[in-house]
Amino acid sequence: MARRKLAACSWQRVAGKYFKKVFLYVIRKGLPAARCQLHASHMIKLTNVSKIYPPNILGVRNVNLHIRPGEFVSIVGQSGMGKSTLAKLLFAEERPSSGKIEIGGWDISRIKDRDIPLLRRQIGVVFQDFKLLPRKTIAENIAFALQVSGERMKRIKEVVPQVLTIVNLGDKAKRYPFQLSGGEQQRVSIARSLIHRPKILVADEPTGNLDTKNTREIMELLKRINEFGTTVVLVTHNREVVNALKKRVVTVENGEIASDVEEGRYRL
Query: Which residues of the shown chain bind ligand ATP in the complex (CB under 6 A)?
Result: 53, 57, 59, 77, 79-85
Closest CA to 184 of 224, 146, 213: 213
Q: Which is nearer to Mg ion, 59 or 104 (CB)?
A: 59
Distances in Å between the Cα of 199 and the Cα atoms of 194, 212, 228, 242 are 9, 28, 10, 22
Supply the minimum distance, in Å, between the C-beta of residue 88 and Mg ion: 9
- For residues 261 and 71, the answer to whether their CB atoms sit within 8 Å is no
Supply the minimum distance, in Å, between the C-beta of residue 169 and Mg ion: 26
Q: Which is nearer to ligand ATP, 32 or 80 (CB)?
A: 80
Supply the minimum distance, in Å, between the C-beta of residue 84 and Mg ion: 3
Q: Which is nearer to ligand ATP, 141 or 251 (CB)?
A: 251
Asked if 84 is part of the footprint of Mg ion (rule: CB under 5 A), the reply reads: yes
Supply the minimum distance, in Å, between the C-beta of residue 206 and ligand ATP: 13
Q: State which residue has the least CB distance to Mg ion.
A: 84
Grouping H, G, I as helix, E, B as strand and the rest as coil, residue 98 is strand
**Which of Mg ion, ligand ATP, none lies near 77, with the C-beta cut-off 5 to 8 A by kind?**
ligand ATP
- Helix-strand-coil percent breakdown of the chain, rounded to 5? 45, 25, 35
Q: Which is nearer to Mg ion, 84 or 186 (CB)?
A: 84
Q: Which is nearer to ligand ATP, 81 or 221 (CB)?
A: 81
Supply the minimum distance, in Å, between the C-beta of residue 77 and ligand ATP: 6
Q: Which is nearer to ligand ATP, 143 or 210 (CB)?
A: 210
**Which of Mg ion, ligand ATP, none lies near 16, with the C-beta cut-off 5 to 8 A by kind?**
none
CA–CA dist 162, 168 (Å, integer) = 10
**Segment contacting Mg ion (CB under 5 A): 80-88, 125-133, 144-152, 244-252?**
80-88
Supply the minimum distance, in Å, between the C-beta of residue 231 and ligand ATP: 20
Q: How many CB atoms lie within 10 A of CB 176?
A: 16
Q: Which is nearer to ligand ATP, 82 or 183 (CB)?
A: 82
Q: Quick one: DSSP state of residue 78?
A: S
**Which of ligand ATP, Mg ion, none lies near 264, with the C-beta cut-off 5 to 8 A by kind?**
none
Q: How many CB atoms lie within 10 A of CB 253?
A: 14
CA–CA dist 81, 60 (Å, integer) = 8
Supply the minimum distance, in Å, between the C-beta of residue 99 and ligand ATP: 16
Maximum distance among all alpha carbons in the chain? 85
Strands (E), the chain: 44-53, 57-67, 72-76, 98-103, 106-107, 123-127, 200-204, 231-235, 248-253, 256-261
Q: What residue type is 78 in one-letter code?
A: Q
**Which of Mg ion, ligand ATP, none lies near 81, with the C-beta cut-off 5 to 8 A by kind?**
ligand ATP
CA–CA dist 30, 78 (Å, integer) = 42
Point out which residues bind Mg ion (CB under 5 A).
84
